[in-house]
Amino acid sequence: MKTKIKPSTFPLGGIHPRSLGFNTMDNEIKNADLPHFVSIPLSQHIGVPANAVVKPGDIVKTGDVIGESSGFVSVNIHSSVPGKVLEIKKGYSAIGSMTEMVVIEFEGELNMSRTGKSPVKWKDMSCEDIIKKIKDMGIVGLGGATFPTHIKYSVPSDKKITELVINAVECEPYLSADYRVMLEKIDDMLIGIEIAKKLLNVKNVYIGIEDDKPEAIQKISEAVSNIEGIEVVDLQHKYPQGGEKQLIKAILGREVPSGGLPLDVGVVVSNIGTIVAVKEAVVDGKPLTERVVTVTGSIVKNPGNYKIKIGTMIKDVLAEVGLIEDPGKIVMGGPMMGLAQYNDEMPVTKGTSGILVLSKKQAKAYHHAPCVRCGKCISVCPMGLDPTLLCTSIELDRAEKAIEQGQNDCIECGCCSYTCPSQKHLAQTIKLGKLRQIARRKGEA
């Protein structure tokens, strides 16, 4: 392995978001307190929700299937604690959509139903069996997109994958969950990579790490130094390097075509957390019932990286970490793309990479002024779009024009809004344009 002399990065746009003065990079992963109740949504992934297979009154153990995948683009949902099913209710999940949730009251001992078993010899398993295992264990992309991993690793026969890229770039500023995982779980990561290599039938693996994490670069470089085909790529720190298209461009110099997928350029990108989850699922038989979440913000007393049971309420998490004052805004995810929550009764799901708590002072509604044509939004857009032009088209309801101008190429990274001196709601307007387009399509159908 070798690291490049001058770290590469994606060429177009990008920003260095300002620091708000808190940092959790050095906080080791800690197990969060066990919740008294969990509320587990049956739709935590892109695709079809799982079907509930428990009913109120049922007793479940940790890791028991409570929602069965219903179709190919769907995965199983497991109980994250032992206890009694109280009810199955409808509620809003953190992404704002209505979904069924299984509410379980914690009872008994936290005892992984599989502990004590010896690790599975995955090398003897067939690819089909491994894929099935990944699906059964409910593994989805942990970077935030929650795309079912078994689908990502089942490459259509007409596509040839030549590279596997491991996304070890923190997707969002202020978050450090991926960083801690890569420091603390190197061995698991290496096994996970081997499994993915087998499934995808690839030889070359690139692990992209940004140069603001020299410790990780050094440790992982050492760990892979005598493994054939794995290379650590040192990347220049810049947001949104964690975007798949940006990462592929930065590491391999290839551009995923507009409207296309990484598959189209022979690449599969996996988040580092996902890779570790794949290992745990396949080798240890561990379903995805917990994940590392960065809980942070300047009014958080004990910010850090916590391993949290899926279904734990935000309010329980916040009670544990402690808040200095009443929050002004609670964001699931990071500051650039996360979702503001309307209350703290939201469960942590498989897609929750961070919980960001902003103070009343930091949570401002921005009054926007007219565009002053500074061009900053254009120069920071990683997709080469003209956000102000797009925004005007959408505001004037010129849908066709907006699509021509690349509305659907926008990755919603938020760089344009972040940087606009007039504080125009650029990314927000473009998202609105996309929603309108979906609504129109539904209307036509």
Residues 248-277 that bind another protein (CB under 8 A): 249, 255-260
Task: Give min distance, CB of 15 to ligand SF4, in A.
Answer: 9
Nearest Cα to 237, choosing from 2, 48, 16?
Answer: 16
Residues in binding contact with ligand SF4, number by CB under 6 A: 29
- What are residue 100's DSSP bridge partners? 90
DSSP string of 304-323, one letter each residue? EEEEEETT-BHHHHHHHH-B
Distance CA 389, CA 426 (A): 10
Torsion sign across C-alpha atoms 119, 123, 126, 131? positive
Q: Return the ∠ at Cα 141 (arms to 95 and 45), rounded to 5°.
A: 40
Of 44-52, 68-76, 179-187, 421-429, which segment contacts another protein by CB under 8 A? Answer: 421-429
DSSP string of 251-275, one letter each residue? HH---PPTT--GGGGTEEEEEHHHH
Binding mask 93-122 for another protein (x = CB under 8 A): ------------------------------
410 near ligand SF4, rule: CB under 6 A: yes
Of 25-33, 71-79, 178-186, 421-429, which segment contacts ligand SF4 by CB under 6 A? Answer: 421-429
Torsion sign across C-alpha atoms 167, 18, 331, 416? negative
Nearest Cα to 93, choosing from 147, 131, 49?
Answer: 49
Residues in region 424-443 near ligand SF4 by CB under 6 A? 424, 426-427, 430
Task: Give min distance, CB of 55 to another protein, in A.
Answer: 30
Which of 376, 393, 402, 433 binds ligand SF4 (CB under 6 A)? It is: 376
Interacting partner of 424 out of another protein, ligand SF4, none (Cβ under 5 to 8 A depending on kind): ligand SF4
Q: Which is nearer to another protein, 139 or 317 (CB)?
A: 317
Compute the CA torsion angle 50, 54, 59, 61 (nearest 10 deg).
-20
Residue 208, helix vs strand vs coil: strand
91 near another protein, rule: CB under 8 A: no
Residue 376 CB contacts under 8 Å (≥ 6 apart), including other chains: 419, 420, 421
Interacting partner of 387 out of ligand SF4, another protein, none (Cβ under 5 to 8 A depending on kind): ligand SF4
Torsion sign across C-alpha atoms 281, 286, 289, 295? negative
DSSP state of 72: S
418 near another protein, rule: CB under 8 A: yes
Binding mask 358-377 for another protein (x = CB under 8 A): x-x--xxxx--xxxxxxx--
Q: Which is nearer to another protein, 72 or 342 (CB)?
A: 342
Tell me the angle at which helices 426-444 and 387-395 cross, rounded to the nearest 10 degrees.
50
Residues in region 318-347 near ligand SF4 by CB under 6 A? none
Type and span of the H or E element at 402: helix 399-404
Which of 412, 434, 436, 437 binds another protein (CB under 8 A)? It is: 412
374 near ligand SF4, rule: CB under 6 A: yes
Binding mask 276-315 for another protein (x = CB under 8 A): ---------------------------------------x
Residues in region 170-199 near another protein by CB under 8 A? 173
Residues in region 380-409 near ligand SF4 by CB under 6 A? 380-383, 385, 387-388
Question: Which positions touch ligand SF4 (CB under 6 A)?
Answer: 371-377, 380-383, 385, 387-388, 410-416, 419-422, 424, 426-427, 430
